[in-house]
Amino acid sequence: MDNSNPQLLPYYTHAGKIHADEVAAYSTLYIAGVCDRFHRLRDISTIPSDGIVGDIGREYKPELNRFDHHQGWIFRSNGIPYATFGLVWKKFGVFAVRKVLENLCIEEKAEMPEDSILIGIADRVDKRLVQGIDAHDASSEYELIATCGGVPVLANSLSDVVTHLNFNVTDGGHGMREDLRQDYSFQTIHGLMSAVIKSTIIGSYRVFVNRRRILDIMSYNNDIITLTEGIAWKEVVDLDFPSAKFIILPSNHPSNPYMLQAIPVKLGSREVKVTIERPEWFTEFIHQGKWIAGSDSIRSLTQLALYSIEQSEK
């Protein structure tokens, strides 16, 4: 039985190996309320004209809903190449953002952001998520580098995870005909990708909201920020308080109602500006990595932060 909505469009892409960019493109269209079904074509010599086409056809014509990137380089202004995800996001990303936030604002009884903020959120999602997937797919110059204490660490990108999930889904699909098994894997990866896209949209929305909110719930003295409630803070602090070294905020840990965190030297890094050092009088929790501590006292954590700053300046 076909449960598809005739008012929504089908999505056409290639069969065979599944790549992150064409799945993420479909997930974007699904979230945006544009597509509700996919067809993975074994023969791409004749592509149906009744839907949206991604990653096949060797043409980029957004006005005709054709989104391929294999016919030649298409670059962003920053030099990162587009793949199918980015080309689809460029046209439909704001629509996906709007759908996700409409549902979120209903749940949270919040006011829907204005269009300029939706555009800003879509741009942030492109930088935080889409560009990495596009670069991995489109360019041989892509490289993911991770280290820990100067030692290289093997890191997996979201695109690598999709590669691992190709036909290796363990909770079903066994004994199926090959094309059905591929479709099962595509549907499974679509579920993962949809969750990632939605969470990135919501996280980006929180940055816009928290950038306003943080001023109402904070005090800032001696390079130490203290918050009266827990919110996502790293990007806001990086943007608006670049000299801050520590942040104190409520914790949901049962034995440590407050936590002190050392602020990273830059977004995405675990290296911190100042490590947390233990004085003789502080007997509560400090992580061995010296980046987080816990206590039942804001005053105690403030003193710990001041002590750590003092030690770093010696």
Tens of pLDDT, residue by residue over 85-98, are: 999 999 999 999 99
Asked whether 136 and 157 are in contact (CB, 8 A), the reply is yes
Find how far residue 156's CA is from the centre of its chain: 14
CB 295 within 8 A of CB 284: yes
CA separation for the pair 260, 247 (Å, rounded): 6
* Mean pLDDT confidence for 106-112: 94
For residue 196, pLDDT over 80 is answered with yes
In angstroms, the CA 36 to CA 27 distance is 9
CA-based end-to-end distance of the chain: 73
- Helical axes 178-213 vs 158-165, angle rounded to 10°: 160
Please write the tens of the pLDDT for every residue from 1-40.
Answer: 455 666 899 999 999 999 999 999 999 999 999 999 999 9
- Which pTM does this prediction carry? 0.81
CA atoms within 13 A on the CB side of 117: 16
